[in-house]
């Protein structure tokens, strides 16, 4: 038997280790129902940057057995990912009776999966909470890639791979990219591999292998000391600069006012307590999207596309 959530509710699955940030972000959403990393809040979906995956309109299924649970889930749709926070053995037996979902690591720049993927969990032995529609195409919002462990100078490249995959947009030949806070060059390596011209800016040098790549121009300077007019028009502005979010916001606003950057992808890095007020100011910029990537740490990724 399917029992719809009444009134309407939404599930928010926190990224691993960031339950506190999500709970703080949803603070005024009403009473929260906690199921491990999954928070259920009353009402329709609301922006939640710290949610790795949002469960839309979850329903409760009363189940009589493992086979009955699987049958009910299959009657709704084919593909399901299990978030098991309790009753792990029972949950794994139910999931084993569902069609296998191949979640192979992507080979960048492959597209994200497009098949519908629902999420479910066991609330108790006889109750499944299930959402046929979720915000992420990846199980639990965890995008995984076949990693390159030799060419990039650090693992920061995975953040950019994930961001570009989720927005389904990438720089290409004939475009010009600006990479602020580029050293040692992980993001510049990603961008150069896609074909555009790359201007890399940092007070610290690039790794020699990255600096030697074709179409990479390095400028040894502070990202905050350069005026947009010093760089000129760019199709893409990228920033992985280590700074307080309020300082990054001033830099972003200066570029937006100049009209010289068409698309922007920036990392907000939090030092100490999470600055939710600064995050809200980024989210309020017109055309913005703010999200916590699977490869983010105590960070959020802000995107604004033309």
Residues assigned a catalytic role = 269
Question: In the numeric block, which tokens belong to residue 96?
Answer: 């084993």
Q: How far apart are alpha carbons 103 and 99 in whole angstroms?
A: 12
Half-sphere exposure of 194 (CA within 13 A, CB side): 25
DSSP assignment string, the chain:
-EEE-SS-EEEEEEPTT-HHHHHHHTTTSSPPEEETTEEEEESS----TTEEEEEES-EEEE-SSHHHHHHHHHHH-S-EEE--SS-HHHHHHHHHTSPP---PPB-TTPPPP-S--EEEEEEETTEEEEESEES-SSGGG---B---SSSSSSTTHHHHHHHHHHHT----TT-EEEEET-TT-HHHHHHHHTSSEEEEEESSPPPHHHHTSTTEEEEES-TTT--HHHH--EEEEEE---S-HHHHHHHHHHHHHHT-EEEEEEEEE--SS--HHHHHHHHHSTTEEEE--TT-SSEEEEEE--
**CA quadruple 254, 204, 241, 239: dihedral positive or negative?**
positive
Dihedral sign from CA coordinates of 271, 296, 147, 220: negative
Angle at 178 between CA 172 and CA 179, to 5 degrees: 105
């Amino acid at each position: 038997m399917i029992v719809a959530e009444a009134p309407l509710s939404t599930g928010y699955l926190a990224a691993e280790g960031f339950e506190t940030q999500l709970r703080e972000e949803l603070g005024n959403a009403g009473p929260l129902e906690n199921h491990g990393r999954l928070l259920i809040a009353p009402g329709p979906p609301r922006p939640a940057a710290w949610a790795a995956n949002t469960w839309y309109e979850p329903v409760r299924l009363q189940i009589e057995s493992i086979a009955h649970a699987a049958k009910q889930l299959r009657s709704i749709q084919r593909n399901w990912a299990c978030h098991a926070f309790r009753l792990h053995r029972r949950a794994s037996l139910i999931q084993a009776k569902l069609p296998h979902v191949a979640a192979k690591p992507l080979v960048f720049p492959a597209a994200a999966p497009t098949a519908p993927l629902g999420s479910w969990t066991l609330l108790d032995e006889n109750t499944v909470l299930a959402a046929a529609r979720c915000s992420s195409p990846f199980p639990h919002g965890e995008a995984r890639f076949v990693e390159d462990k030799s060419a990039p100078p650090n693992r920061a490249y995975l953040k950019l791979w994930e961001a570009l995959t989720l927005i389904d947009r990438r720089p290409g030949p004939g475009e010009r990219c600006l990479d602020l806070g580029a050293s040692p060059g992980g993001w510049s390596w990603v961008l150069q591999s896609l074909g555009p011209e790359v201007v890399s800016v940092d007070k610290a040098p690039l790794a020699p292998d990255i600096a030697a790549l074709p179409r990479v121009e390095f400028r040894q300077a502070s990202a905050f000391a350069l005026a947009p007019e010093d760089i000129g028009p760019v199709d893409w502005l990228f920033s992985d600069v280590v700074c307080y979010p309020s300082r990054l916001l001033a830099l972003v606003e200066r570029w937006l006012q100049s009209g010289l950057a068409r698309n922007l992808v920036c990392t907000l890095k939090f030092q100490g307590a999470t600055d939710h007020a600064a995050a809200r100011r980024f989210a309020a910029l017109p055309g913005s999207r703010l999200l916590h990537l699977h490869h983010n740490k105590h960070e959020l990724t802000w995107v604004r596309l033309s």
